[in-house]
Amino acid sequence: MRLSQLFTKTTKNVPADETARNAQLLIQAGYIHKEMAGVYAYLPLGLRVLENIKRIVREEMNAVGGQEVMMTALQPRDIWEKTDRWDDAKVDNWFKTKLKSGAELGVGLTHEEPIVDALSGYVDSYKDLPIYIYQIQNKFRNELRAKSGLLRGREFVMKDMYSLARSQEEHEKLYDQVIKAYYKVYDRLGLGDKTYRTYADGGIFTDRFSDEFQTLTDIGEDTIYVDEAARIAINEEVYTDENLAKLGLDKSKLVKKRGVEVGNTFHLETKYTDALGVYYTDENGQRQPIIMGCYGIGISRLMGMLAEYFADERGLVWPEAVAPAKVYLARLGDDPAVVKQADELYEKLTKAGVETLYDDRDARPGEKFADADLMGIPYRLVVSKKTREAGVYELKSRQSTEVEQLGEVEVMKALAAAGQT
RNA sequence: CGGGGAGUGGCGCAGUCCGGUAGCGCACGCGGUUUGGGACCGCGGGGUCGCAGGUUCAAAUCCUGUCUCCCCGACCA
């Protein structure tokens, strides 16, 4: 993409209505637009990051056999009444609206009910199970107070997967498989070593503990107690001696930390399938209950999390796996020979499949460098009169101050090899 | 929802206490000088001061109501 054609631009002004670093940086770099509190639009560069995160999550969900669907945001009241989750006293962050006829609707905040309801026409026999169904979709929650930029919004992008199993034993197997897939997702995002499976409250979903995935960082909203050696943690909300005993955690090894919840999985048992009357028939012709699990990953929250976690005083520092482009090609000056050389290099990089942001604007070097840093593109490549005369290109990683002088072949090789995911 | 802060060109702000119809920086346009870490000079376009009502000869400024945003708390698949 040529920056001269990109409609967004960066700004030196820090937005006054944001204190969260992720929102400040993403707005300054032109990745997102704030529509209102807790509601953000994704601009070209931001959308690329969001799609990259989705791609990784999607690949890992597909790898365990997940089947992707897209459910609806508009929800009929009746299925939610069957599970007793329509009442505001039960779930207080609903957005609700009405049809012209007067019938009440909900705007989806989670999708257990519609998923189960939709599956009721397809799941009849033991031969139809087990299955994983997932979607990546916008969720709407009427939070009393949105905050922390993309970390807690009212409209946000989430991946939610649901498993349906024939027995408790089968359910546990499916559940563990997803836990493993989640670790892979966080590894690929560069958060693996800082992310802990954490026992937490089951909320409105289940009476059992849920598992949260908490990334340790000071910006976290959650307080958790971590056993780093055992790679397990427990959320403060369920941190009692009784629970520690139940979970077999050693209190003396737990250290209090802050974390951001980057995923959450639940054992739903038969709560939703029973309530909506969905069963299967076993080999003996007997009707049997279906055991469910559900598995969430906040895609947009992860984007905010990554923006805040991987940043420095000059701006964003995207991991290559999610960066909107791999390299920022800065052309300095408008010498015709330099322009020609940079244009050709851009073509070559693009043809080689190296995502390139080509700064072909009529701007001064300092501005281009500052923008490359603020946008957080992993590599910066400079073409100028100076490099042309020296017969080299300058390649620099966003994470280092060192500049390498390389010939074209070496540049292409370095960029093709770097950060394959 | 409780407490606190704030709404003034696209963005960041000053002006409000002590009413006299709006100013600065960024961004934008034109001209010139510049060109390896967010250049400089000159000229120029753009706001009726969140919204509604009130007081007054006169309201960004005072009064009332209301909406919105931010922070702390409560809450949080």
CA gap A7, A305 in Å, rounded? 25
Phi, psi of A221 (to 5 degrees): -90, -20
- Return the pLDDT at A419: 55
- Return the pLDDT at A421: 46
> How many other CB atoms are there within 10 angstroms of residue A5's CB atom?
10
- Hey, what are A385's tokens? 């009169």
CA gap A241, A103 in Å, rounded? 47
| Interatomic distance A392 CA / B29 C1' (Å) | 38
Beta carbon of A213 within 7 Å of strand B? no
CA gap A216, A225 in Å, rounded? 11
- Return the pLDDT at A206: 66
Do residues A67 and A118 touch, judged by C-beta distance below 8 A? Answer: no
* A246-to-A240, A366, A400 alpha-carbon distances in Å: 10, 59, 47
Give the burial string for A377-388 (b: 16+ CB within 10 Å, else e).
bbbbbbbbeebb
| Interatomic distance A12 CA / B26 C1' (Å) | 7
Can you give the pTM of this predicted structure?
A: 0.96
Q: Which of residues 165-194 of A touch strand B (CB under 7 A)?
A: none
At A127, the amino acid letter reads K
- Return the pLDDT at A218: 84
Closest CA to A371 of A44, A24, A46, A30: A30
Beta carbon of A394 within 7 Å of strand B? yes
> How many other CB atoms are there within 10 angstroms of residue A64's CB atom?
17
> How many other CB atoms are there within 10 angstroms of residue A24's CB atom?
19
Residue at the smallest CA–C1' distance to nucleotide B38: A367
Give the nucleotide nearest to A386 (CA→C1').
B36
Do residues A214 and A236 touch, judged by C-beta distance below 8 A? Answer: no
Beta carbon of A159 within 7 Å of strand B? no
For strand B, give the nucleotides within 7 A of a protein CB: 1-2, 10-13, 25-28, 34-39, 68-77
- How far the first Cα of chain A sits from its last, in Å, is 21
- Hey, what are A208's tokens? 């059992």
Cα three-residue angle A215-A217-A222, rounded to 5 degrees: 70
CA gap A137, A115 in Å, rounded? 13
What is the distance, to the nearest Å, from the Cα of residue A331 to the centroid of all Cα atoms in its chain?
A: 33
Beta carbon of A374 within 7 Å of strand B? yes
- Return the pLDDT at A144: 86
- Hey, what are A299's tokens? 């895609």
Mean pLDDT by 10 residues, chain A (421 residues): 95 93 95 92 96 98 98 95 90 89 93 96 97 97 89 94 98 97 97 95 77 91 93 92 91 93 94 96 98 96 95 96 98 95 97 97 96 98 97 97 96 81 46
Residue identified by tokens 């709560």 is A271
- Return the pLDDT at A204: 66
Do residues A62 and A190 touch, judged by C-beta distance below 8 A? Answer: no
CA gap A345, A379 in Å, rounded? 15
